[in-house]
Structure 1
Amino acid sequence: METARLLAAADGPLKINWAEMPTYNTIMAVAAGAGLLLVVGLGRRLAGRGTVLHPEGWALAFGVLGLILTLTGLHMTLTWPLAAGGFPFDNIIFGEPSLAFGVLMLAAALFLWRRGTILEEHPDRPGYVAGIAGPVSIFIVGMGLACFGIAAAGIWYELFAAPEQEPISGLLADHPMIEATFISVLYALVGVGAVLFPAALGAPRGPLGRVVGFCWALAGLLFLIFGALNYFTHIGLIVNTM
């Protein structure tokens, strides 16, 4: 899901030197989508009175996804540009948010592993979580604002459009604003949830908590499905442009 005009050759069929164009936003999208769904799922369990948490299971899930996002995000963030054939903005759009989300998930995994029993038995789970997560929520708000910036850039510069050589997504190559709008809306949804996160911490069942849950659940589901779809479309793009 890249900008077709930046990949297009002046004449002849599109050819890409894939040795200089590493791409793995497939697994990043799947992991990020699953991570958002996990956060929403855990939030609902925390809000339910007497609900059994099984914190070790959540810690393992957060740890697995956090490790994937941290490693891929860190590599993409520090390797500038990751793709020598173009797309230095991918380092910012995909690498940095993945790194931020991955580290946050690893921190949550560590907390759940070491303090999960205390959390499960606490009489006021939302209040306890609000006290723990309050300080880091400042960073979450900042990354939410960053997601707004990415969404605006996606629309303004018509990013994310696939070339016609990419299966399925390439059918929209002549209409770049469709995919640009779709991906930008996903980032905007994540941004809305992140900005409202501190206010929703203490009352996950309140109106703001429900908005955060809706935004992250919808964005997570779409990121997961789109990332899984890209396993086919990106393989097809590679085959068609070697």
Structure 2
Amino acid sequence: MTPYALPLAASGLASGLKIDWAKMPTYNTIMSVAAGAGLLLVVALGRQLLTRSRSTPPDGWALAFAALGFTLLFTGLHMTLTWPLAGQGFPFDNIIFGEPALAFGVFLLAAAFYLWKRGDDLLSEDGVERTGRVALPISLYVFGMGLACFGIAAAGWKYTLFAAPPEEPISGEFANYPWLEASFMSALYVLVGIGALLFPFALRRPRTWLSPAIGVVWGLAGLAFLLFGGLNYFTHIGLVVNTM
């Protein structure tokens, strides 16, 4: 998935593609890895709380969320405020990648701060219910970003925004089928969006089917973002080499 070459690939201009990388910064590689790890850790923490497990102490979760939150906050903030990030255009990438990363980074940092200050409360008898009440106000923001994820997915399908050019290794093999990668990435945003829309309701009723449903959709999306981000370290380096 290479955001800045997508319109070129879609328009048939990708043959012999040359990119001025000094004007085309791209780091959705680390953003994808951090977002995937963050989703997986949120699911793991939720499972630990609901099963009253003490396998990982609260300060361990706080450190993990803080590390991922800072990564997403700074990369997402830079991408969101630099309009557009790429000197050769494509401002929609700021919306697709920058803004969700920024929001998720803020969520993770807020969770890290709470776990650092009040983490022991989570393991008390009514810790899950109490934490649910604490998180209810911010759940409105989560719900709104869930709607945003559906909007991003719809735009990805309609405009095939996630297709890779032929010069990109592996992903470029499917350059003639732009709908394939567009469908894959849009489906991931749909999964994240489903979990975000269910989140406020799960906080009110944490021990119902809502929590496992969120765990499934966020777990699948998190694993895919983590693996795909790791793969992109190879594909993006290959794209840079092939288009210099």
Settle same-fold status: TM greater than 0.5. Answer: yes
Identity of aligned residues (%): 63
2:163 pairs with one of 157, 161, 164: 161
* Greater mean deviation of Cα atoms: 23-32 or 109-118: 109-118
**Does residue 173 of structure 1 match 2:175?**
yes
User: Unaligned stretches of 5+ in structure 2?
Assistant: none
Alignment of 1:6-85 (within 5 A): 6=8, 13-49=16-52, 51-85=54-88
Do the aligned partners of 1:162 and 1:172 also contact (CA within 8 Å) in 2? Answer: yes
In the TM superposition, residue 9 of structure 1 has moved relative to its aligned partner by 7.9
Residue 125 of structure 1: how far off its partner (Å): 2.1
Q: Structure 2: how far apart are the matches of 1:40 and 1:235?
A: 31
Q: What is residue 213 of structure 1 aligned with on the other side?
A: 215
Find the counterpart in structure 2 of residue 222 from structure 1: 224
Q: In structure 1, how many angstroms separate the alpha carbons of the residues matched to 2:87 and 2:25?
A: 9
State TM-score, norm by structure 2.
0.95
TM superposition shift of 1:51 = 3.5
Checking the alignment, whether the CA contact within 8 Å between 1:4 and 1:173 is kept in structure 2 is: no
Q: Is the 1:44–1:204 contact (alpha carbons within 8 Å) kept by the matching residues of 2?
A: no
Give the TM-score normalised by the residue count of structure 1.
0.95
Give the Cα–Cα distance (whole angstroms) in 1 for the partners of residues 156 and 13 of structure 2.
Answer: 24
Gaps of 5+ in 1: none
- The answer to whether residue 126 in structure 2 is matched with residue 124 in structure 1 is yes
1:211-237 deviation line (CA, Å, top 9, x unaligned)? 111000000000000000000000000
Deviation at 1:69, TM superposition (A): 0.1
Report the alpha carbon displacement of residue 136 of structure 1 after superposing the two structures with TM: 0.2
3-state DSSP class of the match of 2:137?
coil
Q: Structure 1 pair 56/197, CA: closer, same or farther in 2 (3 Å)?
A: same
Q: Structure 1 segments of 4 or more deviating over 6 A? A: none
Taking the aligned partners of 1:10 and 1:32, their CA distance within structure 2 comes to: 31
The answer to whether 1:114 aligns with 2:120 is no
CA separation in 2, counterparts of 1:225 and 1:12? 28
Q: Deviations over 1:67-111 (max 9, x none)?
A: 000000000000000001122111000000000000110010000
Partner of 2:145: 143
Q: CA deviation at 1:57?
A: 0.2
3-state secondary structure, aligned to 1:201:
helix
User: Offset at 1:126?
Assistant: 1.7
Aligned residues between the structures: 241
Deviates more, 1:160-169 or 1:85-94: 85-94
Distance change (3 Å), C-alpha of 1:216 and 1:50: closer
Query: Does structure 2 retain, via aligned residues, the 8 Å contact 1:163–1:173?
Result: yes
